[in-house]
Structure 1
Amino acid sequence: MANHRGHPGKLPPGTAAMLADFARYEWYGERSGIGPEQAWGMLSTLLPLSRSDPAGLTAALAWEVAPQGGWSAYGASRAVAELLGLGFEGDDAKAVLDGGIRFLRQNGVPPLRVRGYEWSRWVDTGGDVNNWLPTIPPPPPERSGLRELAPGEVRHVATLTADRDSNTVHVCRDDSGAYLALIDARYSDEDPTRYGGTMPGYDPNCDNCMKCGTCRGADVVRRTRLDRGNAYYVDETCPTCRGVGGKSAAGNRNHR
């Protein structure tokens, strides 16, 4: 396959699939089933090309991987950032980054989970928080088919992901006529027992609040990063608890 500069494709065989797995590790951490050494072993297959011909790497990714979309496109975007650094310029690098941004938008990722350099690119191309996710106007009340909730009635609103153990959100109406959000979720990453109910905020001093199984209540996780072949560590907001540190569980709570 030739890239758009007319040179033979330079990527190792299976690069698109490898980058898809790397992207899943970047997003889910070790919950993806991939460990850090395995993830960086994947990325190291592109290290020689990133050193000998960085522009050629971005050109090949822009032509061979980014158009495929999905996890592969996001993995290509993250690979450029890790191997070449955030300051690497060029139309191909921007095309790869745009492919990663497209993946985030198509999958409904909220702005708070978008990395700073990704958001800067989005704003530079005319985007803002209002058009990050496409909005669908609600139908007129007479066409919606929805009826008012009766007191005590519970209605399913959303299942957050396609995972089998995904959190689900319901809404109910209490006897006073107020509406409440009900969350059905696992107790923790280690305990798959489901808990359904209104959830107060996490309090690290509460005996019945659960520390996040990923960050152990630290709010952040340490990641290994590569910059032009040099490894270093950064602390990132925990992707599991979103920097909260944990969540409340069943039982009496001593929140103060």
Structure 2
Amino acid sequence: MARRMEMLGRFELDSTSAGVDSGEIWPYCLEPFLDGVTNDTAAFLADLLAFVQDDEGGFATYGASTLAPNLLTEEKWQTHDDALALLDAGIEFKRARNLPSAMLKGYEWARWLEVHGVNTWPHGRPHPPV
């Protein structure tokens, strides 16, 4: 699972520089988790959140943070605390790397604003995304 989540995280962060074939994302990183996340969403998200607690590089965490938005409807994943905790961890991954707010996906930016408010994103020197 770690390799799949790291691959997804690198691809989702910067698909052009990640060195990942986009054709591998669905069959390798998304499809294997579809049954788990749709059959028992709460248990799957809890397990996923526990899994990324020890992620040191952050790419697996970021990949995990994009899994629910990729596989579930917005209404479904935004009602789960564990999905929001994963999303917050993914946003933190980008913030810790001093990426500009323009690097956030729309739903990530909406979550940041919901939690932290406007004019709160730190603006530092960007680091390379991959």
Of 1, 5, 14, which residue of structure 2 is paired with 1:28? 14
Give structure 1 stretches of 5+ with no counterpart: 1-14, 136-157, 164-256
Evaluate the alpha carbon distance shift between residue 162 and residue 72 of structure 1 in structure 2; reply closer, same or farther with a 3 A threshold: closer
What SS class does the counterpart of residue 74 from structure 2 fall into?
Answer: coil
Please show how residues 227-238 of structure 1 align to structure 2 within 5 Å: none
Q: Which runs of 4+ in 1 moved over 3 A?
A: none
Check if 1:132 corresponds to 2:121: yes
> Rg: which structure is higher?
1
| Letter in structure 2 aligned against 1:102 | E
Query: 1:33 Cα deviation (Å)?
Result: 2.0
Contact kept, 8 Å, 2:99 with 2:127, in 1: the verdict is no
Check if 1:92 corresponds to 2:82: yes
Name 1:110's counterpart in structure 2. 100
Query: 1:27 Cα deviation (Å)?
Result: 2.2
- CA distance in 2 between partners of 1:103 and 1:113 (Å): 11
Name 2:35's counterpart in structure 1. 48
Q: Deviations over 1:170-220 (max 9, x none)?
A: xxxxxxxxxxxxxxxxxxxxxxxxxxxxxxxxxxxxxxxxxxxxxxxxxxx
Using the size of structure 2 for normalisation, the TM-score is 0.83
Query: 1:123 Cα deviation (Å)?
Result: 1.5
What SS class does the counterpart of residue 116 from structure 2 fall into?
Answer: coil
Q: Deviations over 1:119-178 (max 9, x none)?
A: 11111112433x32276xxxxxxxxxxxxxxxxxxxxxx895387xxxxxxxxxxxxxxx
- CA distance in 1 between partners of 2:21 and 2:87 (Å): 25
Using the size of structure 1 for normalisation, the TM-score is 0.45
**Higher relative contact order (Cα pairs below 8 Å, separated by 6+ residues):** 2
**RMSD between aligned alpha carbons?**
2.3
- CA distance in 1 between partners of 2:129 and 2:52 (Å): 24
Identity %: 30
What SS class does the counterpart of residue 20 from structure 2 fall into?
Answer: coil
What SS class does the counterpart of residue 14 from structure 2 fall into?
Answer: helix
What SS class does the counterpart of residue 88 from structure 2 fall into?
Answer: helix
Q: Deviations over 1:34-74 (max 9, x none)?
A: 11221111221111201211111111111111552511111
| Letter in structure 2 aligned against 1:117 | Y
Check if 1:57 corresponds to 2:44: yes
Contact kept, 8 Å, 1:66 with 1:76, in 2: the verdict is no
- CA distance in 2 between partners of 1:24 and 1:56 (Å): 25
Number of residue equivalences:
126
| Letter in structure 1 aligned against 2:121 | W
